[in-house]
Amino acid sequence: MAICRPPHYPTIMNGPVCTKLVAVCWVVGFVSIISPILQKTRLWFGGPNVINHHFCDSAPLLKLSCSDACHVECMDFFLSLLFVLATMLLIIVSYILIVAAVLHIPSFSGHQKAISTCVSHLTVVVLGYGSDIFIYVRPGKGYFTHFNKVVALMTVVVTPFLNPFIFTFRNEKVKEVIGDMTKSLLLRDPAARG
């Protein structure tokens, strides 16, 4: 919206619209997991009680079940497929619209600014969706337990860690402040100058 229709962005993406979008995301997220959670409460857990993962995720939890969890695994797979691929499709469509809008920008500096914004966002999207698709949108998820733990670190540690760097270091004000701080340190510390 900010790239394709910049003059209309403040009027279209106002406070109430943003609140409604967030509310819809939360409601759909909570409603969509009610059925799988209810199905998991009906499973029998009588064996080991240690989850072989960094956090309580669905696939490692289902591996602990003593009862047949095939129907719950299928439900998890189809919900993951639906939500991950549907949201990814929305992002792909928005990038197609962004590329079309960028091609219509007459100035080179306008191209650079739009592409800079898109590349940083696309980096986070690829890291997030790449790891999520590997972990959740794949049948037979339990076979790669140790590799899933490594990939899960991308989603829960690496991507959030990289977000501030990706999104702030391309901001001109942040670059200016970092430059001023570096100059100030160099001027104060004689060892750093020489």
> How much is the pTM?
0.66
In a domain, 36, yes or no: no
Residue with tokens 């100058």: 193
> What is the separation, in whole angstroms, between the first and last Cα of the chain?
49
User: What are the tens digits of pLDDT across the range 95-127?
Assistant: 888 888 888 878 777 777 777 777 777 888 888
Give the domain extent around 121: 57-193
In a domain, 46, yes or no: no
Count CB-CB contacts under 10 A for residue 30.
10
User: Rounded CA gap, 178 and 185, in Å?
Assistant: 11
User: What are the tens digits of pLDDT across the range 6-34?
Assistant: 777 888 888 899 999 999 999 999 998 89
User: Rounded CA gap, 30 and 24, in Å?
Assistant: 10
Looking at the structure of the chain, the number of domains it has is 2
Note whether 15 and 97 are same-domain residues.
Answer: no
User: Is residue 140 helix, strand or coil?
Assistant: coil
In a domain, 108, yes or no: yes
User: Is residue 55 helix, strand or coil?
Assistant: coil
In a domain, 2, yes or no: yes
